[in-house]
Amino acid sequence: MSASATSNPKPGRPFWVGTSWKMNGLPDDARRYAERIAAVDDWHGIRPFVMPPFTVLADVARLLHGSAVQVGGQNMHWDESGSWTGEISAPMLRQCGATMVELGHSERRRHFGETDETVNWKIHAALRHGLTPLVCIGETQAERDGNVADLILARQVRLALHGLTAAQAGRVMFAYEPVWAIGEAGRPAPPELVAQAAAGIRQELDRAAGAPGVSPPLLYGGSVNLENAAPYAALADIDGLFVGRAAWTAEGYATLARTASRTLAAPRPEP
Ligand code: PEP
């Protein structure tokens, strides 16, 4: 390996750092957050995105318009309009300025009955309307203890991409988020475990995309913070970080993005 090699084992592939605010962000806080990150003039090669609640999405998208930061919804319905009380459609997200949408987060699967099948319908709808779906997949602790984590992850990937052409599959993004690693009760996953799971997911993605190297981006999420971001960012099959709590302040988010960009640029030790 040459001395000038960097930690980024995936040169040429974009590296994403994004956050979902979940059910947080009243209008004043959301505006302050958006104004602060709109003022960042150099993301050092990172592709940034934020996913605020629907109620402030249009405001945040307006404030970030013209910046490098993409804006996404945290969920949507598969239909375009109709009698779906309380739901939001892909055209509605687009009208608000969203270019991305998070689908299949474990909290939605667990508390709101989201299934691999409905996630697949939503992915089709998002692509039809020009939104980039970010699909969350991950195994529970019981599935990992029962040695079926790899099977569960493969199933989630295959069902997510069901019925898509290779070109369409290449427009989908994934986030590997072990359910047991997410949120207040979450335990950060050892990077070696993430590396092993991500390699298996990558195989599925390559198969779906029809060729290695052009498969969908795979982000990692689950208790990512300033202390552990660098080892996750350096993993060969990981194309980004999807962050909750640690990015719920504009400063926290921008610092994490800087940490990721420094990790990717750092010289890699000789093997
Ligand atoms: C998440 O819920 O998707 C997530 C990554 O949250 P946290 O970073 O807070 O664990």
223 in contact with ligand 1, CB cutoff 6 A: yes
Q: Helix, strand, or coil here: 18?
A: strand
264 in contact with ligand 1, CB cutoff 6 A: no
CA distance 27 to 4: 46
pLDDT score for 269:
55
Mutate to test the pocket of ligand 1, among 245, 248, 249, 253 (most ligand atoms within 8 A of CB): 245
Per-residue pLDDT tens for 15-26?
Answer: 999 999 999 999
Pairing relationship of beta strands 132-137 and 173-176 according to DSSP bridges: parallel
pLDDT above 50 (res 4): no
Q: Is residue 259 part of a domain?
A: yes
pLDDT score for 2:
38
Residue type, 266: A
Per-residue pLDDT tens for 114-144?
Answer: 999 999 999 999 999 999 999 999 999 999 9
Residues 6+ apart with CB under 8 A from 51: 18, 19, 20, 21, 71, 72, 73, 74, 100, 102
Q: Is residue 4 part of a domain?
A: no
Q: Is residue 235 part of a domain?
A: yes
Nearest ligand 1 atom, CA 181: 10
pLDDT above 90 (res 260): yes
247 in contact with ligand 1, CB cutoff 6 A: no
CB atoms < 10 A from the CB of 267, how many?
10
232 in contact with ligand 1, CB cutoff 6 A: no
pLDDT score for 149:
98
Mutate to test the pocket of ligand 1, among 224, 225, 228, 232 (most ligand atoms within 8 A of CB): 224
186 in contact with ligand 1, CB cutoff 6 A: yes
Integer distance in angstroms from the first to the last C-alpha of the chain? 8
Q: Which residues of 69-92 are buried (b: 16+ CB within 10 A; e: fewer)?
A: bbbbbbbbbbeeeeeeeeebbbbb
CA distance 19 to 36: 15
The CATH number that applies at residue 30 is 3.20.20.70
pLDDT above 70 (res 212): no
Residue type, 257: A
Provide the whole-model pTM. Answer: 0.94
Q: Is residue 115 part of a domain?
A: yes
102 in contact with ligand 1, CB cutoff 6 A: no
177 is catalytic: yes
Q: Is residue 5 part of a domain?
A: no
**Mean predicted confidence (pLDDT) in 72-100:** 98
pLDDT above 70 (res 77): yes
**Mean predicted confidence (pLDDT) in 187-203:** 97
Q: Is residue 269 part of a domain?
A: no
Residues 6+ apart with CB under 8 A from 141: 179, 180
Q: Is residue 7 part of a domain?
A: no
Domain extent, residue 146, equals 12-263
Q: Is residue 270 part of a domain?
A: no
pLDDT band, residue 1 (cuts 50/70/90): very low
Nearest by Cα to 136 from 69, 87, 90, 181:
181
How many angstroms is it from 205 CA to the middle of ligand 1?
23
pLDDT score for 181:
98
Mutate to test the pocket of ligand 1, among 220, 242, 248 (most ligand atoms within 8 A of CB): 242
**Mean predicted confidence (pLDDT) in 245-269:** 91
48 in contact with ligand 1, CB cutoff 6 A: no
pLDDT above 60 (res 54): yes
**Mean predicted confidence (pLDDT) in 201-208:** 90
How many angstroms is it from 270 CA to the middle of ligand 1?
33
Of the chain, the percentage scoring pLDDT greater than 90 comes to 87
Average pLDDT, the chain: 93
Q: Measured at the alpha carbon of residue 179, what is the angle toward residues 55 and 33, in degrees to the nearest 5?
A: 30
CA distance 253 to 5: 27
129 is catalytic: no
**Domains held by the chain: number:** 1
Q: Which residues of 107-142 are buried (b: 16+ CB within 10 A; e: fewer)?
A: bbbeeeebebebbbbbbbbbbebebbbbbbbbbbee
Per-residue pLDDT tens for 242-256?
Answer: 999 999 999 999 999
What are the start-end ranges of the H helices in 187-244? 191-209, 229-233
pLDDT score for 139:
98
Q: Which residues of 28-64 are buried (b: 16+ CB within 10 A; e: fewer)?
A: ebbbebbeebbebeebeebbbbbbbbeebbbbbbebb
Per-residue pLDDT tens for 151-164?
Answer: 999 999 999 999 99
Identified catalytic residue from 102, 114, 177, 204: 177
